[in-house]
Amino acid sequence: MNALKKNPAWKGRKGPVVLVIMDGVGYGKYKEGDAVADSKMYHLNALTAKCPHTKLKAHGTAVGLPSDEDMGNSEVGHNAMGCGRVFNQGAALVSKSIETGAMFEGTAWKEIVSNVKSGAGKNPTLHFLGLFSDGNVHSHMDHLKAMIAQAKKDGVKRVRVHVLFDGRDVGETSALEYVDPFEAFLKELSDGNFDAKIGSGGGRMWITMDRYGADWEMVHRGWQTHVLGTVRQFASARTAVETYRKEIPGIIDQDLKEFVIAEGGKPIGTIEDGDSIVYFNFRGDRALEITAAFEDDNFNKFDRVRRPKVCYAGMMEYDGDLHVPKRYLVSPPSIDRTMGEYLAASGVKTLAISETQKYGHVTYFFNGNRTGKFDEKLEDFVEIKSDVIPFEQRPWMKCAEITDQVIAAIHSGKYDFIRLNYPNGDMVGHTGIYQAVVCSMEGMDIQLGRLVKAVDDAGAVMLITADHGNSDDMFEHDKKTGAVSLKEDGTPKAKTSHSLNPVPCIIYDPEYKGEYKNEPKESSLNEGLGISSIAATCMQLLGFLPPEDYDKSILK
């Protein structure tokens, strides 16, 4: 990797460049439900009023997703910001692989099918485990259906599906909208030679889909559910959902408790020796821990009781450096020449920091799905442990602690480039609790005010942006009329998924020396760009010329 070329026209700054990523903060389309606009964002509004600013696209094709109907997410958003170009992402790659048939001609698919057909197990079964929705952030129902249909064509006799209800990237209580048509799909496929059923399930934020080691007990509950089958039994997935909704008023899909489907008092879908498993999520962060439970010989996070001898495959390679999982159906995007790699080659001292919930995004995803550092001497990564409680109970999360360390880093004079992620807008936004989201925004805004003072004192530059929207769109709206959708009690129906809205980009440069347009209006920056332009912009603010094939900088 060659070092970046210095920009001879850049006059330098005393302090570092500070990239602030306000996770899940966008510009709302509707007044009703825009918790960002509804919050007292004194510092963010003041910066917008006096600084050059613009709106950036953070969803759909701007971040490598199949269409502009697809919501952005933190994974692809940080990829785009850190890599400076747009790469086709998981959803698009998987869809193409299925469409062309490449997935089913691949070695991994043939191995999982062959393993089941070999008959080594007592009742050989192909299991599918993953997020059960069409949110297209972690998975898509169409991919699951295509694989089940292909399994039947390939001679598999028995399939069990382990569903993780969403309620986060789709409607918060939409589980049965997926269960009923899927059960009909399985019934139509099933015959005397093919038996396909739902075997177990639960909410994505209660079982299986933990990330960054935040709460391994989630994975433990998932193991007890999908593998051991030792949890509460129901006659059907619909019955489980309806029962939990009755027993726990107000529960949303992502928090639904674990269940297994049983016949005659015996679970119908436990995972046994000789079986095969496909974890059909294409996004990596919430796939690594359950994968470790199946693949790691020295696993010590919880007592597995038994570890079935299975043929395990992930939808994609979730960690390219560690090569996890060992077997995967679709190759991930090949991302090279990231901003982090260029900066390390150019001798730039860097700090990346967030709390546990977004630590991997500001490190692993920002660096192009790469674990570790490009240069141990030049890069520091700091993780502040997240609280293991519902986020609406502590909506400020760890934004103050993150800011404490960033301010110390700014004043230390040790770093040239600091990047941080405030998770509040996304993690609290996903709860659907409007008051908590407003609290999270105002708590974060206080920290922005603290950063402004530190930037002033150090003569630094601050670039404020986001990876996607969420808190800006907290109510469901009728797509045709724009009217707020109401629940039976007349209150707004909460929206817990990401938005399709643009996100902010604000340049705060208190020691501005005339190298670019710096008027407090949108037109002083390049418009119509996506968040992939953040990389070239940061390079320019650091005094470098961006690579020619990087997406255009925001600076004029």
Structure-token match 């970046």, residue found: 4
Give CA angle at 475 (492, 44), nearest 5°. 125
Question: CA separation (Å) from 6 to 337, 389, 552?
Answer: 17, 46, 17
Contact residues for 195 (Cβ-Cβ < 8 A; gap 6+) = 157, 158, 159
Q: Are 49 and 504 in contact (CB under 8 A)?
A: no
Task: Count Cβ atoms below 10 Å from residue 240 Cβ, excluding itself.
Answer: 27
**Among the listed residues 107, 97, 212, the one whose alpha carbon sits nearest the alpha carbon of residue 147:** 97
- Cα 285 from chain centroid (whole Å): 7
Number of helices (H) and strands (E) in the chain: give both, helices first.
16, 18
Q: Which helix (H) or strand (E) holds 503?
A: strand 503-508
Cα 123 from Cα 494, distance rounded (Å): 43
On the question of a cis peptide bond just before residue 325, with omega within 30 degrees of 0, the verdict is yes
Alpha helices in 459-545 (DSSP H): 534-541
Distances (CA, A) of 70 to 27, 131, 140, 327: 17, 16, 11, 28
DSSP string, 76-121: HHHHHHHHSS----HHHHHHHHHHHTHHHHSHHHHHHHHHHHTT-S
The helix (run of H) or strand (run of E) holding residue 424 is: helix 424-427
Cα distances (angstroms) measured from residue 228 to each of 109, 146, 286: 25, 27, 21
SS (H, E, C) 481-497: CCCECECCCCCECECCC
The Cα 138–Cα 469 span in angstroms is: 17
- Name the residues annotated as catalytic: 74
* Inter-residue contact 147 to 278 (CB < 8 Å): yes
To 5 degrees, how large is the angle CA 64–CA 66–CA 71? Answer: 75
Strand pairing report for 544-545 and 5-6: antiparallel
Strand partners, 159: 126, 196
Side chain identity, residue 519: E
Sheet holding 17-22, edge to edge: 53-56, 503-508, 461-465, 17-22, 417-422, 350-355, 379-384
Per the DSSP assignment, residues forming a β-bridge with 19 are 419, 463
What is the spatial distance between Cα 86 and Cα 70, in angstroms, rounded to a whole number?
15
At CA 173, angle to CA 430 and CA 138, rounded to 5?
55
